Amino acid sequence: MTRRILISVLVLVVVSGYSQTLLVPPYLQPGNAPTLSKEQKVLIWQTDSIQGNFKVEYTLNPPGQKVAVAKSSFSKLFLKNKTTYLYRATLSGLKFDASYTYKVSLNGKVLAENSFTTRTLKPQTKFVVFGDCGGGTPQQAGIAYQVYQQKPEFVLVTGDNVYLKGLENEYRKNFFPYYTAKEANPAVGAPLMNSIPFYMILGNHDVYGVEFDKTQDGLAYFYYNDLPLNGPITELVVKPTGPEELVKSFKANTKPRYPRISNYSFEHGNVHIACIDANTYTNPLDPGLVQWLAEDLRNSRADWKIVSYHHPGFNSSKAHYDYQYMRLLSPILEQLGVDLVLTGHVHNYQRTLPLTFDPKKDSTGTRYVVSPEGRVDGTFTLDQHYDGITNTKPKGIIYIVTGAGGAPLYDPSLSGKPELWKHDPQENWVPFTAKIVSDIHSFTTIETNGKKMVLKQMNAQGVAFDEIMITK
């Protein structure tokens, strides 16, 4: 811990010595490595208006191994009448199941030095999931601290990464300080992204800043993430509006990530995760998306198949109950052998029973029926025998809402009161929810070992309040 504190202090001294401010310290991203055929990591950092002569070195641990040098490139961002530089460096040719150390230097002075572990080829993994986090709250810091204590191999964020509009300055104020903190402290966060890659998903708040005449630093998700480029470009994607020169600049500075990283998938150990943009402008049954999902999931040999998106289709909270469009995708996910769906949007924790769902169709039997409110009726089949303890082989998909990562909580009165979870009409609601905890902030840990998966929901003190096992 002492070493990391000293390094962080060094950043401030050295950078200021060259009249340059480090706005975002170097952090890890997974880069374009969706499958386990190659391994790489991407380092990203941001400075103020003065261009720097940075050097990025990385080496296999233990010390004394050959040192590789990664070429860095930058995008010159002119946002809100201020110029900043966003740098990227790809650490390529990495070995799996290995530990590396990287150094970022400016004019011979070390600004950042950290170690990381590459993805594993073993049939096991451990990762953390949470969403609805980047609001700059004390609860966000506490969750970040406890996530750090879990020592995950990666973090999956289920959307609403930052509030309120997904702006560049909001990321710098409400996101990075908590996950790139100088030390692990429940009051400030933890140095997570310094050594652990984050996989993020688009939520509704991440796409509110599309009017570049008002918020030219919007859609910063595409600036700050470097994710697999293996997903489809669907017919309906988020589109910036406003002055042509600003839109052109955004597209130039986010190429090839915009809009490719709206949908993507990746593998880690024996887990395959497909991440989907579920915002209101999308169509969950987009032919290109469905075809890609089918090919992507069928081609995977991973033991566990997981899908993640922001807006939950199965939600017993009052908040956002009527937004159920993602239910339409459920029969397809069932056919593709999906084990688990991870969502956010609703700021609490929810877990369903294993279920299958057949959406209601119109009188011709050709079109799904969606109410004006966004409700999707249909036929549920619930596995009432699964308890995750004695019966661990579910029949159907388990849907998780894990949206209590830091933002203000929704419907705190629902905890432990199933009588309050019921909604009308009855054909739209059945008792599919097994657990709701809505009065505390929390995050999800998932650990796999071969054909066994253990899911725990942890509070801000690092104590599990829900735990299930899934076996095959």
399-446 confidence digits (pLDDT tens): 999 999 999 999 999 999 999 999 888 788 889 999 999 999 999 999
Residue 77 and residue 154 in one domain: no
Q: Give the model confidence (pLDDT) of 314-325 as tens digits.
A: 999 999 999 999
Residue 428's domain spans which residues? 120-471
Q: Same structural domain for residues 162 and 26?
A: no
Domain of residue 78, CATH code: 2.60.40.380
> Are residue 287 and residue 304 in the same domain, yes or no?
yes
Token code pair at residue 325: 């469009």
pLDDT range class, residue 19, cuts 50, 70, 90: low
Nearest to 409 by CA among 325, 350, 322, 327: 350
Q: Which residues contact 16 (CB under 8 A, 6 or more apart)?
A: none
Contact 284, 325 (CB under 8 A): yes
Integer Cα distance of 108 and 18 in angstroms = 12
Q: Specify the number of domains making up the chain.
A: 2
Cβ neighbors of 458 (< 8 A, separation 6 or more) are 146, 150, 442, 443, 444, 445, 464, 465
Tell me, what CATH number does 316's domain have?
A: 3.60.21.10
Q: Which of 91, 118, 145 is the last residue in one of the domains?
A: 118
pLDDT of residue 263: 98
- CB-based burial, 437-457: b 16+ in 10 Å, e otherwise: bbebbbbbbbbbeeeebbbbb
Residue 444: closest CA among 157, 178, 24: 157
Residues 114 and 142 occupy one common structural domain: no
Q: Assess whether pLDDT exceeds 70 at residue 365.
A: yes
202 and 267 co-located in one domain: yes
Phi first, then psi: what are they for 267, rounded to 5°? -125, 145
Tell whether 106 and 219 lie within a shared domain. Answer: no
Q: Are residues 223 and 299 in the same domain?
A: yes
Tens-digit pLDDT profile for residues 88-136: 999 999 999 999 999 999 988 999 999 999 999 999 999 999 999 999 9
Tokens of 165: 């509009």
Q: Which of 309, 224, 314 is nearest to 265 (CA)?
A: 309
pTM: 0.95
Residue 230 reports pLDDT greater than 80: yes
For Cα atoms 274, 277, 279, give the angle at the middle one, nearest 5 degrees: 150
Quick one: 393 and 430 in the same domain? yes
CA distances from 284 to 133, 152, 396 (A): 24, 30, 20
State the SS3 of the chain.
Answer: CHHHHHHHHHHHHHHHHCCCCEEEEEEEECCCCCCCCCCCEEEEEEECCCCCCEEEEEEECCCCCCEEEECEEEEEEEECCEEEEEEEEEECCCCCCCEEEEEEEECCEEEEEEEEECCCCCCEEEEEEECCCCCCCHHHHHHHHHHHHHCCCEEEECCCCCCCCCCHHHHHHHCHHHHCCCCCECCCECCCCCCCCEEECCCCHHHCCCECCCCCCCCCHHHHCCCCCCCCCCCCCCCCECCHHHHHHHHHHHCCCCCHHHCEEEEECCEEEEECCCCCCCCCCCHHHHHHHHHHHHHCCCCEEEEECCCCCCCCCCCCCCCCHHHHHHHHHHHCCCCEEEECCCCCEEEECCEEEEECECCCCCCECCCCCCCCCEEEEECCCCCCCCCCCCCCEEEEEECCCCCCCCCHHHCCCHHHCCCCCCCCCCCCEEEEECCCCEEEEEEEECCEEEEEEEECCCCEEEEEEEEC
Boundary of a domain, candidates 99, 118, 137:
118
Q: Are strands 271-275 and 349-352 parallel, antiparallel or unpaired?
A: unpaired
Same structural domain for residues 137 and 184? yes
pLDDT of residue 50: 85
Q: Of 83, 118, 153, which residue constitutes the final position of a domain?
A: 118
CA separation for the pair 450, 345 (Å, rounded): 31
CA distance 104 to 84: 18
Q: Which of 101, 88, 97 is nearest to 32 (CA)?
A: 88
Question: Is residue 44 classed exposed, middle or buried when 0-12, 13-18 and 19+ CB atoms within 10 A define those classes?
Answer: buried
Do residues 59 and 161 both lie within one domain? no
What is the pLDDT, as a whole number, of residue 172?
Answer: 97
pLDDT tens, residue by residue, 27-59: 999 999 999 999 999 999 999 988 888 999 999
Each as own residue / partner, the long-range contacts of residues 369-374 (CB below 8 Å, 24 or more positions apart, any chain) are 370/324, 370/325, 370/328, 371/322, 373/322, 374/322, 374/323, 374/324, 374/325
Yes or no: say if 441 and 264 are a contact pair by the CB < 8 Å rule. no
Q: Are residues 286 and 374 in the same domain?
A: yes
What pLDDT digit, counting tens, does each position of 254-291 carry? 999 999 999 999 999 999 999 999 999 999 999 999 99
89/182 same-domain check: no
